[in-house]
Structure 1
Amino acid sequence: MNLTSPRRSTPTDEDATAPVELPHVLVTVAEDGTLTATVDGTPFPSPDVSAWTRATFGSLMDAITQDRTIAARVEVRESDGSVFTDILRTRKPRRAVASSETPVPETRRSRHARRVPRLAEVTADGFVPGEDVAVAAIVSHTDATGTGEARAIIDLDVLSDASTHEVILLGRISGTRAVRRLP
């Protein structure tokens, strides 16, 4: 094996490459709710003459991450001294829809995909505008020990069961938590 020869690259090499360092986004919140943002120490001004605000936090994050195509480490420093950090991940690319001219063979999976989903809406407030909110299904409860430790044993078959009756909404930046009962 020749160690000095260059490694051949395949088309998937570029797709699978992740940055060694994530951009560091620092957002500082002023008393009046205006935001100043820097990316790796460089100021990130608003594209128009107005200032970034809490209400435009989502737009700010979309602008910095180029509509979530770039992952970033975000640190929000509130005017009261509290600090929140999170990683904004990229969105998964959507697969292209097959054109109507190309026949797609019907499979068991595609027949199953046609079922009408049963949906329930769960809402809560108190989150930072634009922040990533995790949704977790509650499958069981446990008690904490006298030392404050908790232990849960989860039946993995229950995770696919439709008997979940509560969910948690968890703000990844604000830490806001809301437990809601499903209808």
Structure 2
Amino acid sequence: MRRHATQPEPEHAPVSMRTVILDIHLDGSMAVTIDGTPYLPPDDAAPWSRASFPQIIDHASEERTVPVRVEVHEVDGTSFTELLPARPPRPAPASEPTPKRKKQVPPALVEVTGEGFVPGEDVACCLIVSHTDATPHGAARAVLDPKQVKGAGEVMLVGRISGTVVTRSLS
């Protein structure tokens, strides 16, 4: 058999709980006391009513940081009691680590240029994977995805109006 050593009582913070008493009147208004002290509605506000319950509880519980015992005394003599616990404190928002951004690599494109086209004309890019327009100075530029020209050795730019053909090597 083992003997238990006496351990000192743990130190606890004193428990504090507010008491709210709601006395309901015949007209539906309420008289409110918090810890025995009358709690009156704001000067220009209507008397407390059941709709005021959340506002009263928030005030008495210091925005739900203190537990509250609520007693409701009805006109017919019935009453009930409810205990509303305090909400656990919300943790401070943790500073989220800045996500590491991947360095954006511009797409590797193949550019093919040529001159001698009619300004604004439609220029075909042969292997014909796309079309482009000539600039106001008669130049054409096609930017192609390397997947489109994989295996091709040359690309042709063909002016649909001028008939200009420019051949460029891809290597």
| TM bin (shorter chain) | 0.3 to 0.5
Provide TM-score, normalisation by structure 2. 0.46
Provide TM-score, normalisation by structure 1. 0.43
Higher fraction of helix: 1
